[in-house]
Amino acid sequence: MNPVERIAIFRPGALGDTLLAFPALAALRARYPTAQILVVGNFDALSLAQSSGLADTIADFAAPEWATLFTETSEDLVPAALAGIDTAILWLRDPDSIVASNLRRLGVPRIIQAPGQPDVTARTHAATHLLATLQPLDIAFASLPLPPLRLPAAAEGWAADWWQAQGLMDQHVIAIHPGSGGQHKCWPAGRYAALADILTANGAAILLVAGPADTTILAALRAAQQTPPAAIAHNLPLPLLSALLRRCAAFVGNDSGVTHLSALLGLPTVAIFGPTDPAVWAPLGPHVYIVAPPAIGPIAQISLESVLAAPPLRRSDRM
């Protein structure tokens, strides 16, 4: 096999899609520790790959320069970051192989092309699917490597100050994120409110987490709560949110990118699924607990009792 020294990986997608590629990135780094790895995709999410040592360089897939790869383009329009690349990994939609053809024309000797997600009927986990596509690079693992996420020191420092300012020191903090990438994946706000009230009554401090698309469900949750949350983290940059979550005792959320983030950070994470299939999309982490209907169906079927029974949310001496 020709040397693997400069690798370009294309992985567009949202936060959860990006985090599910981290085991494959970790496997690449372990197999080729001196290779220079460029990853093009969700820039905010990839900042965690860079700070964790899984990527040397990252780039935003949404930047106009990358669009040239999807057209019959001349070599002088190709992004300079691709100069000297010997291996390209394409985890993206390229049905006409235009991207692959352009890369070959540019002289990239080794191209691995695979769908960015598995055939859901096969029920193969998305991270396992991505790792399997790397077999041509002499990469094989008996189990998924779960890389520890390392955060910038500035983010950790900011989180420490924020935590103290919010009065969360010495508190048993449980984070709740009621949103997701689509309403059909969201457990009802009223049930999240009831859960937060029960946990508060048992001595927990609730940290509500919300992104820019979660304003409506966050407002509905707060309107239904009997007790106010201890703090709200709204629209935070990903490194800062990660640093806050790392300080929590547990996390509850839907099938969302933030739930994947919590799991990879090592928190006891309760992931509420429906109608997506956790066999394919379950978060990765050492302490993940899935709550889903017996047969994957509407998320509203999930009872409050089933979520309270999840192991990390049982009453303990700390609560």
Q: Chain-centre distance of CA 149, in angstroms?
A: 11
Nearest to 116 by CA among 16, 5, 255: 16
Q: Would you say 240 and 48 are in contact if contact means Cβ atoms under 8 Å apart?
A: no
Helix (H, G, I), strand (E, B) or coil at 99: helix
Q: Would you say 34 and 275 are in contact if contact means Cβ atoms under 8 Å apart?
A: no
The CA distance from 297 to 194, in Å, is: 22
Per DSSP, the chain holds a count of helices (H) and strands (E) of 12, 11
Low-confidence stretches of the chain (pLDDT beneath 50): 314-319
Residue intervals in the chain for CATH 3.40.50.2000: 6-137, 153-313
Q: Chain-centre distance of CA 105, in angstroms?
A: 33
The CA distance from 54 to 67, in Å, is: 25
Which residue bears the tokens 């897939």? 61
The CA distance from 58 to 43, in Å, is: 7
CATH topology of domain 153-313: Rossmann fold (3.40.50)
Nearest to 106 by CA among 135, 125, 72, 78: 78
The CA distance from 83 to 227, in Å, is: 57
Angle at 202 between CA 200 and CA 203, to 5 degrees: 70
pLDDT recorded at residue 315: 36
Q: Tell whether omega for the bond before 275 is within 30 degrees of 0, i.e. cis.
A: yes
Give start and end residues of each alpha helix (H) in 10-142: 15-19, 22-31, 43-51, 98-105, 126-132
| Residue 250 DSSP class | E
The CA distance from 73 to 36, in Å, is: 26
Classify residue 167 as left (phi > 0), alpha (psi -120 to 50) or beta: left
- Burial category of 91 from C-beta neighbours within 10 Å (exposed 0-12, middle 13-18, buried 19 and up): buried
Burial 72-82 (b: 16+ CB within 10 A, else e): eeeeeebbeeb
The two tokens of residue 158 are 């900011």
Could you read off the pLDDT of 10-40 as tens digits, one per residue? 999 999 999 999 999 999 999 999 999 999 9
CATH topology of domain 6-137: Rossmann fold (3.40.50)
Q: 14 to each of 49, 101, 288, how far by Cα in Å?
A: 14, 26, 20
DSSP element (H, E) containing 194: helix 189-201
